[in-house]
Amino acid sequence: MRNDTLFGKIIRREIPATIVYEDEEVLGFKDIAPQAPVHVLFIPKNELIPTLDDLQPAQAHLIGKLALAAAGYARREGFAQNGYRIVMNCREDAGQTVFHIHLHLLAGAPLGQFGAA
């Protein structure tokens, strides 16, 4: 299935993004509207999975790949010791706006607690 989401277009370089990480399966790029000093999105490149709720058991390794890519980036950029947060929003109540799964990596300052307002 062709990935016609915004992030599919970023994967195909049809729209620009500041790419900070890439391997065979994962792409990492800066969020256009950062919610922290560091805000990077990590996405699977080869499979279109709209939400975490759509993830199939055979695709489970992809979530680990996204997490490892985020952790590696944090170490290389020097903020792993201070800490960071990873977030994956699923559907409306979580505020998901792009329906191709993505891991948010937030860091660079103490992050507030979160939950229902």
Query: Which are the catalytic amino acids?
Result: 102
3-state percent breakdown (helix, strand, coil) of the chain, nearest 5: 30, 20, 50
Residue from 26, 29, 74, 107 binding ligand 5GP (CB under 6 A): 29
Which one, 86 or 98, has the nearer CB to ligand 5GP?
A: 98
**Closest distance of CB 78 from ligand 5GP, Å:** 22
- Which three-class secondary structure string do you get for 56-81? CHHHHHHHHHHHHHHHHHHHHHCCCC
Our finding on whether 63 is near ligand 5GP (CB under 6 A) is no
**Residue with Cβ nearer ligand 5GP (34 or 57):** 34
Q: If DSSP states are collapsed to H, E and C, what string results for 3-18?
A: CCCHHHHHHCCCCCCC
Q: Is 33 in the site for ligand 5GP (CB under 6 A)?
A: yes
Nearer to ligand 5GP, 71 or 90 (CB): 90
- Which backbone phi and psi does 35 adopt, to 5 degrees? -100, 5
